[in-house]
Amino acid sequence: MVMLVALGAGVGGVMRYVLTQLGKNWWPGVPLATLVINASGAFVAGFLAMCALPQAWSLLLLTGVCGGYTTFSTFMTDAFILLRNRRYRTFAWYYFGTTGAGIVTLTIGVWLGSLW
């Protein structure tokens, strides 16, 4: 079971890295990629949580991939850097936008997963 989590976390981590690099090119100086990653991860996690997956699939996809893909620590670091650089408006938009987007996308994922 541990290997399933490790495999999923590796896949999720690589996905996060690729999207982060793309985000740095598309939106330099604004951590929008982390917002997209965390919101889309919340959606997928909500969906998977409602799908009643077998334990092995849940460990691989929900715990592994979603856990490796989403990143609370990067979210907090990006928010801190914006504050440190006195980019207060961007900080507020990013912090509350990420939190709001996460709640909304999780709710949509849960709703769609319950229909599955």
pTM of the entire predicted model: 0.88
DSSP states of the chain: -HHHHHHHHHHHHHHHHHHHHHHHHHSTTS-HHHHHHHHHHHHHHHHHHHTT--HHHIIIIIIIIIHHH--HHHHHHHHHHHHHTT-HHHHHHHHHHHHHHHHHHHHHHHHHHHH-
- Render pLDDT for 12-67 as a digit per residue (tens, 0 to 9): 999 999 999 999 999 998 999 999 999 999 999 999 999 989 999 999 999 999 99
Q: Is 67 marked within a binding site?
A: yes
Please report which confidence band the pLDDT of residue 73 belongs to, taking 50, 70 and 90 as the band edges. confident
Going from N- to C-terminal start, the domains of the chain cover: 2-115
